[in-house]
Homo-oligomer: A and B are copies of this chain.
Amino acid sequence: MKKYCFGVDVGGTSIKIGLFTVKGELLDKWEIKTRKENSGARILEDIAQSIRKKMDERSLCADDISGVGMGVPGPVLEDGTVTVCVNLGWSNRNPSRELGQMLNIPVKCANDANTAAYGEMWRGGAKGYSNVVAITLGTGVGGGVILGGKIISGNHGLAGELGHITVNPEESEFCNCGNRGCLEQYASATGVVRVAKKKLREHDAPSVLRGKEAHLSAKMVFDAAKAGDALAMEAIDTLGYYLGLVMSFVTLTVDPDVFVIGGGVSRAGEILLEVSQKHYDRFIRISSHYAELRLARLGNDAGIYGAARMTIE
């Protein structure tokens, strides 16, 4: 009986690794540096070495381990191929096969937004559900779609790219992706700041945010809204409007049990759910029953939880 598994979350700066029991208990977690030199050639060997060291430390052998799961910051095809991963310098490789050969342990690989969603399903805000859509509001906006307990990665690795859904075709500013009016432009941390600054420029209503434009953060906008600042509340309402709209799109496509909202912006808490629920409700009229909204619970550990979970059938 294999009792343990590893979850690896490969980021552009550091790699998080966790040792779990197959029941979902996190026994140990640590980080190593991401060495991106030479198109990230050393990354997998570094991970293998770190896992071998931990196994020695704890006197574990390959037979004790159900597998290693790994989340990477880019699209992963069904067969494990990573065509391009800009943040790591990788192109056209199969990291799960390569790491599997180094460790002689089965390795599975998926996009990091998907593994985070999987983690929230296993032990976080969506525990007990099997149809889960996770939306991560961070510097950008990411998403992960799980149906019937299975991560949906899509034929071209685009499944769950909810941040780049066009919510406002009339937008004049460009998103990083080259499109205009993506969800990310309104609902990411940078998006909230962008919208608040725009409102400060375009209106002369009083606001506690005035004069603070140069160092404005999403947290400052949320704090001002919670304290009753009308202009800040408008910026938050814009986020809720577009997030509610996208959740209605997703609902009328795959109709999940639950949406889990995570990422730095979700630290704002209940106010985020309230403002999103209001608009979500208004965009779905054909039914009075649809998915619940919940806050994510695992924070930055969601990725290692979900990666570890992938190793268990």
Interface set of A (CB-CB < 8 Å, partner B): 75, 131, 143, 145, 147-148, 150, 152-162, 164-166, 169, 175, 177-179, 245, 248-257, 283-287, 289-291
* C-alpha spacing A143/B252, complex, angstroms: 9
Contact indicator B249/A164 (Cβ below 8 Å): no
Q: Which of B158, B256, B285 contacts A286 (CB 8 A)?
A: B158
The smallest beta-carbon distance between A255 and chain B, in angstroms, is: 2
Contact indicator B254/A159 (Cβ below 8 Å): yes
What residue in chain B is nearest A148 (Cβ atoms)? B150
Known: A166-B283, A285-B164. A253 touches B253 (CB 8 A): yes
Q: Which of B155, B166, B177 contacts A256 (CB 8 A)?
A: B155
- 12 contacts across the A-B interface (CB closer than 8 A): A131-B154, A147-B152, A154-B255, A155-B257, A156-B290, A158-B252, A164-B284, A165-B249, A165-B253, A166-B249, A175-B285, A177-B286
The smallest beta-carbon distance between A237 and chain B, in angstroms, is: 14
Contact indicator A178/B254 (Cβ below 8 Å): no
Contact indicator A131/B158 (Cβ below 8 Å): no
Please provide the 6 A-B residue pairs with the shortest distance between their CB atoms, ordered closest to farther.
A154-B255, A158-B255, A178-B285, A179-B285, A159-B255, A177-B286
Known: A159-B255, A249-B165, A253-B145. A283 touches B179 (CB 8 A): yes
Contact indicator B254/A161 (Cβ below 8 Å): no
Contact indicator A145/B252 (Cβ below 8 Å): no
What residue in chain B is nearest A258 (Cβ atoms)? B155
Give the residues in chain B near A162, CB-CB below 8 Å. Answer: 252-253
Contact indicator A253/B286 (Cβ below 8 Å): no
Contact indicator A154/B254 (Cβ below 8 Å): yes
What residue in chain B is nearest A131 (Cβ atoms)? B155
Give the residues in chain B near A289, CB-CB below 8 Å. Answer: 156
Contact indicator A164/B286 (Cβ below 8 Å): yes
What residue in chain B is nearest A292 (Cβ atoms)? B155
Q: Which of B153, B166, B287 contacts A156 (CB 8 A)?
A: B287
Give the residues in chain B near A251, CB-CB below 8 Å. Answer: 154, 158
The smallest beta-carbon distance between A284 and chain B, in angstroms, is: 8
Give the residues in chain B near A256, CB-CB below 8 Å. Answer: 154-155
Known: A165-B249, A290-B158. A177 touches B285 (CB 8 A): yes
